Amino acid sequence: MTKIKTPTTVKNEIRTAVFETMRVALATAYGAENVFRIGDTEVAVKVGNAPSGEPIYATFAPTVKDYTNRTTNTKTIKAFDLTAEVAAYERKVAERDTKAAKAAEEKAAKVEADKARREANAKAKAEHVKAKADTLTEFKNRWQKMSNAKVEP
């Protein structure tokens, strides 16, 4: 009598097989001395050292997606749809790129407006300084004319 495997059992068996393949691949890429098993189907890999010398680790755990629609006592689980997931990711990337482009455009406009405002302020300040200097010169000239004028008693 053949025992029928549940979807969870099938996924667990596949996860174990993929985990072993992943562990061997990571050991080949980073060296067996840098790959550490930290769970039934999770590994930590030493990928380098921080500038201060502490080791940096990345963890990996395969996730096996559902291959069929099924219902449990508490929820309904839909089969993994690769096409929908790829499309959703591409939309997300496009939205992120559009948002980044819009932010860059707004920043460029703000920089341009700030530059124009600074130039206008500098021009106004220069005009004010010139007007003040002209007024002072005019006052000095009038004062000098008055000082040079002869007063008759």
Per-residue pLDDT tens digits of the chain, which is 153 residues long = 668 888 889 999 999 999 999 999 999 999 999 999 999 999 999 999 999 999 999 999 999 999 989 888 899 999 999 999 999 999 999 999 999 999 999 999 999 999 999 999 999 999 999 999 989 898 888 888 777 766 565
Structure tokens at 100: 């980044």
Q: What was the pLDDT predicted at 84? A: 94
Which is nearest to 7 in space by CA: 64, 84, 83? 64
Q: What was the pLDDT predicted at 150? A: 65
> Could you please report the per-residue DSSP string of 111-139?
HHHHHHHHHHHHHHHHHHHHHHHHHHHHH
Q: What was the pLDDT predicted at 148? A: 72
The one-letter amino acid at 48: G
19 and 41 in contact (C-beta within 8 Å)? yes
Integer Cα distance of 97 and 75 in angstroms:
35
Q: Where are the domains of the chain?
A: 7-80, 82-153
Q: What was the pLDDT predicted at 7? A: 86
Strand, coil or helix: 13: helix
40 and 20 in contact (C-beta within 8 Å)? no
Q: What was the pLDDT predicted at 96? A: 97
30 and 85 in contact (C-beta within 8 Å)? no
Cα 40 versus chain centre, distance: 33
